């Protein structure tokens, strides 16, 4: 039987199904050919579809940014890599059907992911996610990008989907 550490080493080869323990994943998926197909109206719809998948398809969302051509997520899955794969498949399928019903495939077939195991890499990935619209020249300040968890992380507000802690790992009813 492979240890969790050994399974994590395989992430670059997309063998996430080897990870069976509850895990937090930094996942990225991209529109085919990096086309910037998500306008402001479509970003609103994309965000609604993302939130609609919790908690039925994944246990928690700790961070996200929706960009015109790609998406970064911090997704918690008690079912490990298999649950993440199913979640991402559902997300991409649902958003394609709802936002682009007659356009054919929207997303690249694959997605990339990395397991987050502690607060330090969580903080690094959150900063990366939140800075994405600034680096792309879409806004001047991270909290100005509407389709991101940056505002949530900068306040004490409660969100129906977003979480700031690891409680979902031990909670049985999430």
Is 129 inside any structural domain? no
Encode the chain (174 residues) as per-residue pLDDT tens digits.
333 443 344 344 456 667 778 899 999 999 999 999 999 999 999 999 999 999 999 999 999 999 999 999 999 999 988 899 999 999 999 999 999 998 888 999 999 999 998 899 999 999 999 999 999 999 999 999 999 999 999 999 899 999 998 887 776 554
Distance (Å) of CA 23 to CA 103, 120, 174: 34, 15, 14
Is 144 inside any structural domain? no
Is 149 inside any structural domain? no
Is 34 inside any structural domain? yes
**CATH number of the structural domain spanning residue 59:** 3.30.70.1290
Is 148 inside any structural domain? no
Supply the pLDDT for residue 13.
45
Owning domain of residue 95: 4-117
Instruction: For residue 65, give both structure tokens.
Output: 């940014």
Supply the pLDDT for residue 166.
84
The whole-angstrom separation of Cα 30 and Cα 68 is 9
**Domain tally, the chain:** 1
Is 104 inside any structural domain? yes
Is 55 inside any structural domain? yes
Supply the pLDDT for residue 2.
36
């Amino acid at each position: 039987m492979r240890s969790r550490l050994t399974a994590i080493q395989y992430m670059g080869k997309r063998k996430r199904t080897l990870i069976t323990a509850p895990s937090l994943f930094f996942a990225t998926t991209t529109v085919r050919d990096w086309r910037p197909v998500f306008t402001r109206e479509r970003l609103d719809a994309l965000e609604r579809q993302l939130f609609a998948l919790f908690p039925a398809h994944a246990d928690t969302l700790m961070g996200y940014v929706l960009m015109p051509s790609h998406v970064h997520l911090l997704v918690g899955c008690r079912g490990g890599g298999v649950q993440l794969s199913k979640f991402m498949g559902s997300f991409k399928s649902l958003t394609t059907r709802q936002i682009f019903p007659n356009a054919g495939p929207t997303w690249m077939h694959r997605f990339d992911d990395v397991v987050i195991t502690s607060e330090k890499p969580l903080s690094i990935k959150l900063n990366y996610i939140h800075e994405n619209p600034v680096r792309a020249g879409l806004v001047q300040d991270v909290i100005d990008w509407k389709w991101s968890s940056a505002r949530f992380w900068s306040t004490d507000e409660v969100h129906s989907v977003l979480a700031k802690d690891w409680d979902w790992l031990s909670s049985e009813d999430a």
